[in-house]
Amino acid sequence: MRRIYFPVILRNVEQDLASTFVALFALEAAARALMITIVPLEAYRLLGSPLLVSLIYFATSALGLVVSLFLPTLIHRITRRWALTLGGLLYVAAVGLYLLGTPATVIAGLAAQVAGVAILEVVLNLYVLDHVPRRELNVFEPRRMVFTGSVFVICPWAGVFLQTHVMEGATFMLVAVLAVTFLVFFWRVRLSANPALSPAKGLPPRPIRFIPRFFGQARLRLAWVLAVGRSSWWIMYFVYMPIQLKASGFSDAVTGALVSMGMVPLLFIQVWARIGRVHGIRRLLMAAYAAAGAATLALAIACGWPPALVVLMLAAAFFAILIDGAGNVPFLRAVHPYEREAMTSVYMTFRHAASLGTPGVFAVVLAVAPLPFVFATSAAVAFAMSGLSRFIPRKL
């Protein structure tokens, strides 16, 4: 559920506009990261079954897929500015539903959150694509992860800490404050006043029409499949890993801290970026997917031994972060500038496709096997992604 696109100050972007992007992305990421651990834990507490949690995530993710796919039409009708506002308001609505604390309202809150994330991801990425030239993308992608790291190292732990040690519901109230701050700041700077960010004046885009064209291009198809595999691994990490830690006897606070610790390597993403530039994105992704798969498989075997579980979880997260640092470059380098809006909308469905398919597959696994088999399944997917990475163009 991660998703997360952070702009940086590039040579061709004005200083004040770049700073505005940083602030907007940081606010959205902080709101999402604060809830990323406590929502599955809350769902697990209310329902008492990893299988039911899987089914909930499967059902609500369908909404996110539909929203992402048809968002260009919505943007054309109400403009990017109002679409972004709608995404922020959905965050606020999700908080209100989570605070009610019943199984039904948690499900509804998750649906509102997923829809809000879908809108904000696509719209903010369109702003970034308007201003970052293709030749800068190999530098842009790793740098944006620095901002991701600073937020995701702190907020998963902070969200659980506030909920358990300060006041029940404190995390959700902070998320509401961040969402409102996001909207106030956005309307204050009025980004869309910039001509480059003005909404299109042509006919409304019809995303379904672009699906055959998107998947008819081998490089875009490969980028989408690899992104689905990457996103699937993180869904396992943020949804099922906290449940496994909780079942292994760790408290909610320790669980949140361990999840945050797994994100620490994001702070050193520039080091991994240099490795990618020296050895190529293709080799980096092949090796990182394979290593993440091996660590995840070992994790599945070690679930009965908590110390080994923690060590292997952190190792697997380390290799998955290597993937994240360059994971979107194959798409960003392949998409044609004149097709950015439509193709970005189709590409961004990878997150919702993973959010829909991953809990569905895991629900089947959990219906016949215990939780460690979820991690074994995730390892198999990572190995498959390593094999597919061989088809990335060597020049990347």
pLDDT of residue 77: 82
DSSP strands (E only) in the chain? none
Q: How confident is the model at residue 134 (pLDDT cuts 50, 70, 90)?
A: low
Q: Which domains does the chain have, with CATH numbers?
A: 15-391 (1.20.1250.20)
Q: How confident is the model at residue 91 (pLDDT cuts 50, 70, 90)?
A: very high
Tens-place pLDDT, residues 297-337? 999 998 888 889 999 999 999 999 888 767 677 887 777 77
Find, among 17, 264, 380, the residue nearest to 8 by Cα: 17
Find, among 35, 152, 24, the residue nearest to 95 by Cα: 35
Task: Work out the number of other CB atoms within 10 angstroms of the CB of residue 169.
Answer: 15
pLDDT of residue 359: 84
Q: Is the pLDDT of residue 366 over 80?
A: yes
Number of DSSP helices (H) and strands (E) in the chain, helices first: 18, 0
Residue 338 sits at φ, ψ, to 5 deg, of: -75, -10
